[in-house]
Copies of this chain bind each other. A is one copy, B any other.
Amino acid sequence: MPSLCAAELWRRSERWDLMGRDLFRLKDRHDAEYCLGPTHEEAITELLASQGHLSHKQLPLLLYQVTRKFRDEPRPRFGLLRGREFYMKDMYTFDTSEEAAHLTYQTVCQAYTRLFARLGLNCVQVQADTGNIGGKLSHEFQLPAEVGEDRLLVCGDCAFSANVETMEPGQTDCPQCHKGTLTESKGIEVGHTFYLGTKYSHIFNATFSNPQSKPVVAEMGCFGLGVTRILAAAIEVLSTEDAIHWPGLLAPYQVCILPPKRGSKVGHLEGLAEELCRSLGSAIPGLRGEVVLDDRTQLTIGKRLKDAGCLGYPYVIVVGQSAAEDLPRFEVRCQQSGETMFLSREGLMDL
């Protein structure tokens, strides 16, 4: 979907005015007006409507993209945590009925929950405001963190949790179990889901033909994951002062191999390091494409170890002095535990 979104579409949904100064606006050489898409409800719904001939048999339809989004934030800050230009995975869903749309909504929320669990991020799904996107139901996925700008209320007795925005000011009793007390904490919003109903499909006439061949307006949902923000939030929550710790799945590479400095006493081991890089990547299925060689051998091992710490590879293998001995040993540094081990080649393969 385009970054340059025609003003006309946004006027039809009334978001052209509603979004106010959060929307980046511009004109082309013919004075036609555009905004830089912060989300794409209008674009996708109009696209679907323009295709025509959608059958109920083709629903549910789930369409997604991962693209840059733009929002003229009044206070961009915390680097990638709140930027004006960022990557978002946004998905738009179309269903035959409110019931079917709720099922899709739950399925996607469950997928998001699993996704964050696999990343090792303890996210909380909280009730949220629908904001300018609109709709009938909304949840945020919040990563608890002191630096977080969202305030959450969590019940001590039941599963209730919500963004403060959705609550009465000063409310401390749980509105769900009516027993527990609500405790406030801070979070970083890393995902947001909306059940939209027919807000956009009605405006753009996105219909499907039902079994009786009558046109019916589709029920919609939209689902966002803040890709850039997940990276920044994960670093914020997992890292230490000294080194970046990535969730394993997000690390740029699992293993970084450092050959010796060119011209040093063990400089002749450069070939061994290269060979090790290739064989680790091919012998261990989980490491395919996950081993990188830092071949900047004009730099010292120390300088490259420091860079490796800044990049956050879970494992760094140094091919140095001890690899030149009769029984070659490789120095393996584990970023997570801070431990250093000396392993034989076989030991490496078992790691």
Contacts and interface: CB of A to CB of B under 8 A. Distances in A.
User: Copies of this chain, how many?
Assistant: 2
Interface stretch (A25-33, A94-102, A321-329): A25-33
Contacts of A55: 298
B26 A85 contact: no
A25 B26 contact: yes
B74 A4 contact: no
Interface of A: 2-4, 21, 24-26, 28-29, 36, 55, 57-58, 67-68, 70, 72, 74, 84-85, 296, 298-299
Contact of A72 (B25, B29, B58, B299): B29
Contacts of A299: 57
A307 to B, nearest CB: 12
A57 B21 contact: no
Nearest to A56: B298
Given A4-B84, A4-B85, A26 B28 contact: no
Contacts of A74: 29
Contacts of A24: 4, 26, 28
A68 B3 contact: yes
A299 B53 CA distance: 13
B68 A296 contact: no
Given A24-B26, A28-B84, A57-B298, 19 more contacts: A2-B85, A3-B36, A3-B68, A3-B85, A4-B24, A4-B70, A4-B84, A4-B85, A21-B29, A24-B28, A25-B26, A26-B36, A29-B72, A29-B74, A55-B298, A57-B299, A58-B298, A67-B68, A68-B68
Q: Which 8 A-B pairs have the closest CB atoms?
A: A26-B26, A57-B298, A21-B29, A29-B72, A28-B72, A4-B85, A2-B85, A24-B26
15 contacts: A2-B85, A3-B3, A3-B36, A3-B68, A3-B70, A3-B85, A4-B24, A4-B70, A4-B84, A21-B29, A26-B36, A28-B72, A28-B84, A55-B298, A58-B296
A171 B29 CA distance: 35
Contacts of A57: 298-299
A249 B327 CA distance: 45
A70 B58 CA distance: 35
A330 to B, nearest CB: 26
